[in-house]
Chain A
Amino acid sequence: MRLRTTLISAFAGVATIASAFACASARADETPLAFQGNLFDQLPEPFFPTMFRTRDLDGDGFPDLVIAGRDPDDRLITQRGLGNGRFVTLQTLAAPGFVDWVELADIDGDGREDIVGAWRGDVPRLVCYRGLAGGLFEEALVLADVELGGVGRDPQSVALGDFDGDGDVDVAVCNYIGQSIDVFSSRVANGGGLAFERTARVRLGQFLGGIAYPRLVHAGDMDGDGDLDLVVNEIGASRIAVIRNEAGRFVAAKEYRVPILGAERPGIAGMDLADIDGDGDLDVVCPALLLDSAQRVLAFVNDGTGALTQTLDGDGAPSGYSFSLLLADFDGDGDLDAVSGAALPGTIAIGRRTGAGAFTFEIDQSFQFGSLIRHLAAIDVDGDCDLDLVGIDAPSRTVFTRRNVTPQQGSGCGGFAEAQQEQPKSLPRKSTGKQAIAARPTPARESVPMADRDHNGVVDAADVAIWIAELSQAVAPQPVKAGVK
């Protein structure tokens, strides 16, 4: 049981977030969140980064990155953190077929974390890059494919956890075209090697005339029964699916439709789990992409049984199409602040949580960067005890860092010396100075081709979310200005 508990907390990062950053009432005297300008590193062409995971791979005390991406040159890239917000390539691994998502866990039980991901190509494969010493990894080992275990069509994301409670790491795979979640349970192969058996395939949106297009799967204990459930965002269906773990088995999904905000139903390209109301359970938060009004962030509130009974929404990115969302406590006051990432133009909006029990955010900083902020993470890149912002602009192949200089409440950690700020030379967008948000006109959103991509008979925000999520190359840059409050 102890091992099981450890695994749950280790792999359900969201659960850790929930306990560590349980929401409390925002303090009236808290000061605006403040971040320095971008530090950035560009990845090699034609890599199109989609997300990353952070670990101290090489044991130097600074977080490193494992970066997934869509790369015609078939690469998966790890980067070593320099401790100042910059990253340099540590290793390039072969990844035939796009890899949209990776997770890290010790799936072979050797004490070192391994990379688990899925190759999305015509012959999809679930793979593992076994960890070696010094932060390096072996080339990929195929855990399951079309013939071996039966991987579904277009696996776009994975989630790890001990789903069946047997003490080892299992894998859930989200099949975008297959509209299903596959669960692969770890088994001991002949000779003691790695072996995985598919133990569940749960269809999603089977009642739809259109296509559900599930994109992300996350693991977390939604119903408080001590095991890991699965949560999926279905872009095409505009729904969040909760698949409860019943004695180690996954059978069926409960699906929750995204509510209409204003006069339209938002598209939900992303999703995360966090305890937004401080009641000790995991809620579901999404960036809400809207076409006719300002972008929002949306929360589905868990009643503790895994049922999502209420929705809340707050301010999102002030421009662009909302795509990514990060909740983290950037000022150490015990509540979760929100960073929204948007596309076209690439926009990052840093919002400070305001008000006890409310899901509202004061946007303290907003700036344009690149074209598509696909992924955001809160990491203490410099060891100063606060959370910095690290993200990806996919079309420009850029990893950017914004170091946190917000005075921290209660942690005893101070700020740090201002870092040398560099401006990108080949990026499509760059910051142009400080300007009050209220006085700055909202940059025009760039137009996107409109079509019924989910085949549900309606052209709406979900179709735009799908189009952005499926981008795999740079879009034409447009000049935009940025401001910092």
Chain B
Amino acid sequence: MRDFIGHLMGHLMGHVARHLARMPVAAVAVALFANAALHAQCPTEGDCRKVHASPGCVMPECCSLVCEANPLCCETTWDDTCVQSALDICDGINCPATGECTATHATPGCSDFTCCDLVSNFDGWCSYAAWDEICAREAAEVCGVGRCAIDATGAVDENEPCYKRLNDGCGLGLDHDRIALACGVTFKGRITNGGSRDLDWFALDGVGRRRFRVTVEAEFPLELQYFRGGCEGASDTKWLVAPNLCTGPIAINFIADGGTSSFIIGSGYDDGPLRYGIDCDDIDPDNPPNPDDPPPVQLFGVHWRARVDCLAIGDLDGNGSVGPQDLAMLLNLWGPIPTGVAFDPRAIDADLDGNGTVGAPDIATLLSSW
């Protein structure tokens, strides 16, 4: 129970800050006078939005906000006045609520408070609108996983304070730099979000098709992309991979096209980006935090580590040499590449010339890098 309360205390102020933006004036006043800590009687039994005889209610944050405004709600009974306060103040607070956290349902929130609160902290839709399939998948991925720490000792730092956006490529309104790729080098960096989410872009520009292997590990929900094109004109994301949280390093052996292209590290899921929940905790000397600001929320760790290896294009298995096993793999994949399905870089890419078919020209290319 102590851990439960401690978890709540750690996130309550962040919740309050978010809810202030949509509260009516009276409710804002209530919230401003509320203490950061949970009210001693919260949570208890009973739906916060329904009258019940016992004091307090089941939603910890809502219960605390109401009882700070009206202590009788936590001392005598949860009456009409308490219910009305809850309806006024607790808009968007729906943890816990009915429905399994890993199952889709048309109401906001879910039954496991810890999971509901965690997901809602980075995806407000889930506790404000409906617990849709995205919420359910997010819950399945992050709830109960805990935190993981990576060791990036000796890695080359991206040198980007988290309050700045220096290597965000084409991801923002103004074009930014990208991290210059270096073969065999391990890089490290941080990803934060809030406002413009942070993305770390690696430049893969070059002549002709080249094979890379990137090995990436992160403390947050990781989203890896391969982006083709420059910031102006046409571009596309050839593939996006979002491995499960804290499942260790992921290695992707892929072919980059000639011309301008980029490899992107960010935070997110298959369904969408992670836009909240990993606040920057660096102090921006030009914009120091207000003493009244809530502390930064970091639901996950912020660090990543990535090693980039430059491989021969025929090195399908990525073992550092081109040999019979690579040829066997290519032959096994002979024929046209299926269309109408998303490209999966985790599958072996034997279309060395990128013409949509694994065929004789690819054998020639492979042999040339034997």
Q: Which residues of A approach B to under 8 Å, CB–CB?
A: 121-124, 145-147, 150, 153, 177-180, 203, 206-211, 246-249, 251-257, 259, 265, 307-308, 452, 454-458, 460, 462
Also in contact, A257 and B235, with CB within 8 A (given A122-B129, A145-B106): yes
In the complex, B292 has a CB within 8 A of chain A? no
CB distance from A464 to the nearest CB of B (A): 13
Complex: chain A residue closest to B132, CB-CB: A146
- Report the minimal beta-carbon distance from A320 to chain B, rounded to whole angstroms: 23
Given contact pairs A122-B129, A153-B125, A209-B168, A178 touches B235 in the complex (Cβ within 8 A): no
Whether A457 and B196, one on each chain, are in contact in the complex, defined by CB atoms closer than 8 angstroms, is yes
Query: Could you say which residues of chain B place their CB within 8 Å of the CB of A458?
Result: 172-174
Whether B198 sits at the interface, judged by CB under 8 Å, is yes
Apart from A178-B134, A210-B172, A256-B235, list 17 A-B contacts with CB within 8 A. A123-B129, A146-B104, A146-B132, A147-B106, A150-B132, A179-B272, A206-B268, A206-B272, A208-B172, A209-B168, A211-B275, A251-B341, A252-B238, A252-B343, A257-B235, A308-B234, A457-B173
B30 on the interface (CB 8 Å rule)? no
CB distance from A436 to the nearest CB of B (A): 39
Residue of A nearest to B129 (CB): A122
In contact, B273 and A206 (Cβ under 8 angstroms): yes
Q: In whole angstroms, what is the CA distance A99 to B304 when docked?
A: 42
Contacts of B132 in A (CB 8 A): 146, 150, 153
Bound Cα distance from A255 to B227, whole angstroms: 11
- Say yes or no: A255 contacts B235, CB within 8 Å: yes
Q: Which residues of B contact A (CB under 8 A)?
A: 104-106, 108, 125, 128-134, 165, 168-174, 195-199, 223, 225, 227, 231-238, 240, 264, 268, 271-273, 275, 339-343
Q: List 9 A-B contacts (CB under 8 A).
A: A124-B130, A180-B272, A203-B237, A203-B240, A246-B339, A251-B341, A253-B236, A456-B173, A457-B173
A292 to chain B, nearest CB (A): 15
Docked Cα-Cα span, A253 to B339, in Å, equals 14
Q: Is the CB of B342 within 8 A of A456?
A: no
B234 touches A307 (CB 8 A): yes
A206 touches B130 (CB 8 A): no
Query: Contacts A122-B108, A147-B104; is A256 near B340 (CB within 8 Å)?
Result: no
Question: In chain B, what residue has the closest Cβ to A258?
Answer: B232
Given contacts A254-B236, A458-B172, contact A147 B105 (CB under 8 A): yes
Task: Give chain A residues whose Cβ lies under 8 Å from the Cβ of B223.
Answer: 206
**Please, which residues of chain B bring their CB within 8 A of the CB of A203?**
237, 240, 271-272
- Give Cα A28 to B105, complex, Å: 63
Interface residue from A179, A207, A251, A259 paired with B227 (Cβ < 8 Å): A207
What separation, in Å, do the CA atoms of A308 and B235 have in the docked complex?
A: 11
For A251, what are the chain B residues with a Cβ–Cβ distance below 8 Å?
340-342
Is B106 a contact partner of A146 (Cβ separation < 8 A)? yes
A37 to B298 alpha-carbon distance, docked (Å): 60
Considering the chains assembled together, what is the distance between the CA atoms of A100 and B168 in angstroms?
A: 33
Q: A146-B104, A178-B272, A209-B171 are in contact. Are A254 and B235 (CB under 8 A)?
A: yes
| Residues in A whose Cβ lies below 8 Å from that of B199 | 207, 209
Question: Given the complex, which residues of B lie within 8 Å of A121, measured CB to CB?
Answer: 129
Is there an interface contact between A249 and B341, defined as CB atoms closer than 8 Å? yes
Q: Could you say which residues of chain A place their CB within 8 Å of the CB of B108?
A: 122
Residue of B168, B170, B196, B231 near A455 (CB, 8 A) is B196
A180 to B270, CA, bound (A): 12
**Alpha-carbon gap, A378 to B172, bound state (A):** 37
Partner of A259, one of B165, B232, B235: B232
User: Which of A146, A147, A246 has the largest number of chain B CB atoms within 10 A?
Assistant: A146
- Minimum CB distance partner of A254 in chain B: B236
Q: How far is the CA of A179 from the CA of B269 in the complex (A)?
A: 13
Closest 6 CB pairs of A and B: A458-B173, A249-B340, A122-B129, A209-B171, A456-B173, A209-B196
A146 pairs with B172, CB closer than 8 A:
no
- Distance of A259 from chain B, by nearest CB (Å): 7
A178-B272, A455-B195 given as contacts; is B236 within 8 A of A252 (CB)? yes
Find chain A residues with CB under 8 A from B231 CB.
257
Contacts of A452 in B (CB 8 A): 195
Q: Which residues of A contact B264 (CB under 8 A)?
A: 207
Contact A457 B130 (CB under 8 A): no
A146 to B238, CA, bound (A): 28
CA distance A456 to B237 in the complex (A): 18
Q: B172 near A209 (CB under 8 angstroms)?
A: yes
Q: What residues of B have a CB within 8 angstroms of the CB of A247 in the complex? A: 339-340
Q: Which of B125, B133, B169, B275 has the most CB of A within 10 A?
A: B133
**Chain B: which residue is nearest A251 at the CB level?**
B342
Please pick, from B130, B171, B198, B341, the residue contacting A146 in the complex, using a CB distance under 8 A.
B130
Q: How far is the CA of A482 from the CA of B193 in the complex (A)?
A: 47
- From A179, A252, A458, name the one whose CB has the most chain B CB atoms within 10 angstroms: A252
Q: Which residues of A contact B339 (CB under 8 A)?
A: 246-247, 249
Contacts of A206 in B (CB 8 A): 223, 225, 237, 240, 268, 272-273
Complexed CA–CA distance, A30 and B292 (Å): 67
Q: Give the complex CA separation of A179 and B105 in angstroms.
A: 21
Complex Cα distance A178/B341, Å?
A: 21
Name the contact of B129 in the complex, choosing from A153, A179, A455 (C-beta under 8 A). A153
Q: A259-B232, A455-B195, A457-B196 are in contact. Are A207 and B129 (CB under 8 A)?
A: no
Q: Which B residues are in CB contact (< 8 Å) with A208?
A: 171-172, 273
B237 and A207 contact, CB distance less than 8 A: yes
Q: Bound complex: CA of A458 vs CA of B223, how far in Å?
A: 24
Chain B residues with Cβ below 8 Å from A123 are 106, 129-130
- Chain B nearest Cβ from A166, distance in angstroms: 15
Closest to B125 in A: A153
The CA of A192 and the CA of B312, in the complex, are separated in Å by 56
Set of chain A residues within 8 Å of B128, measured between Cβ atoms: 122
Complex Cα distance, B127 from A13, in Å, reads: 40
Closest to A145 in B: B106
Tell me the complex Cα distance, A122–B105, Å. 12
Residues of A within 8 A of B172 (CB): 208-210, 456-458
Q: Does B232 contact A257, Cβ atoms closer than 8 Å?
A: yes
Given the complex of chains A and B, what is the CA–CA distance between A458 and B231 in angstroms? 15
Query: With a CB–CB cut-off of 8 A, which chain A residues contact B129?
Result: 121-123, 153
A209: chain B residues at CB < 8 Å are: 165, 168, 171-172, 196-199
In Å, the complex CA distance between A166 and B197 comes to 41
State in angstroms the CA–CA spacing of A207 and B236 once bound together.
9
Q: Contact: B165 with A255, CB < 8 Å?
A: no
Contacts of B196 in A (CB 8 A): 209-210, 455-457
| Most chain A CB inside 10 Å of its own CB: which residue of B108, B130, B173, B197 | B173
Q: For the complex, give the distance between the alpha carbons of A458 and B1 in Å.
A: 45
A residues in contact with B106, CB < 8 Å: 123, 145-147
From the candidates B104, B271, B342, name the one contacting A252 in the complex (CB within 8 A): B342
Which of A121, A203, A460 gathers most chain B CB within 10 Å?
A203
Cβ 8 A contact of B133, one of A146, A207, A246, A255: A146
Look across to chain B and name the residue whose beta carbon is closest to the beta carbon of A180: B272
Out of A177, A255, A455, which one reaches B234, CB within 8 Å? A255
Distance between B106 CB and nearest chain A CB, rounded to angstroms: 5
Chain A residue numbers with a CB within 8 Å of B232 are 257, 259
CB nearest neighbor in B for A149 = B133
Q: Which residues of B contact A265 (CB under 8 A)?
A: 173
